[in-house]
Amino acid sequence: MALIDDDLRQPPPDAAIVDRVVGAVMEQKLAAGAKLPEAPLCEAFDCSRSQIRRVLIVLAERGVVALHQNRGAFVASPGAEEARNVFAARRAVERAIVLAAASRIDPGALEDLRANAHAGCAAQARGDRGESIRLSGLFHLRLAEAAGNAVLTRFLEDLVARTSLIIGLYGARATRSCSEDAHEALVAALAARDGARAAELMDTHLDHIERLLDIRDAAETPADIRGVFAR
């Protein structure tokens, strides 16, 4: 029996909390603009306020939450320009990732991706939107890991989370997060070690997702009046 780790739970490490919040954003459990008060977060992860505060700083740095002076933390709500910039950045980063992956991916990782693409296709076929989104994000992240560049992987983690927010904000209801066929085609190109083709497919894939969205700044709300004169 464990003498340590008794029934009083120890608080999770910072990174775990960050991942949980990012995960919630990616699965669209947290909508863009949602308030994130400190007290509920403390209870949810039962930890101290200092820890939550630290986590919120990290999330802000990643562009997933926005901190407003004396008003607290909110899930980020990217405007039209930022949304387009995120997609452009993703194209740049993922292009480099597939090029690297094409030349160094191992059979195990390849099979992993294939299974993921297949499962995603199935989830989408049976209308399981949440699982489909989750698997789609996971596909891109696993691919990044297979490319073996931790710096690019880190960049992509942030971009994927922000993309989820963007899809939630600008996505029409018909939007499927990822056409899973594209993932399977990508796996095929990677299996053939055809980097150029994989890069082309990835670019088309991301462009397709962006085109399915209606990225336009919303008409100014009463709240914007505040922003105009803020500071």
* Least separation in angstroms between CB 181 and a second copy: 26
Structural contact between residues 159 and 86, judged by C-beta atoms closer than 8 angstroms: yes
Residue among 58 and 67 whose Cβ is closer to DNA? 67
Q: Which helix (H) or strand (E) holds 66?
A: strand 65-68
Give the DSSP per-residue string, 91-152.
HHHHHHHHHHHHHH--HHHHHHHHHHHHHHHHHHHTT-HHHHHHHHHHHHHHHHHHHT-HHH
By the rule CB under 8 A, 92 interacts with a second copy: yes
Query: Is residue 82 part of the contact set for a second copy (CB under 8 A)?
Result: yes
Contact region for a second copy (CB under 8 A) — 28-36, 94-102, 104-112, 214-222? 94-102
Residue among 173 and 231 whose Cβ is closer to DNA: 231
| Number of chain residues interacting with a second copy (CB under 8 A) | 23
| Residue 164 makes contact with a second copy by CB under 8 A | no
- Specify the pairing of strand 35-36 against strand 72-75: antiparallel
Residue 51 contact partner, candidates DNA, a second copy, none, CB within 5 to 8 A by sort of partner: DNA
Quick one: which of 22, 61, 7, 16 has its CA closest to 164? 22
Q: Which residues bind DNA (CB under 7 A)?
A: 11, 36-39, 48-51, 53, 67-73
CB 50 within 8 A of CB 17: no
List residues binding a second copy (CB under 8 A): 54, 57-58, 61-63, 82, 85-86, 88-89, 91-93, 95-96, 100, 149-152, 155, 159
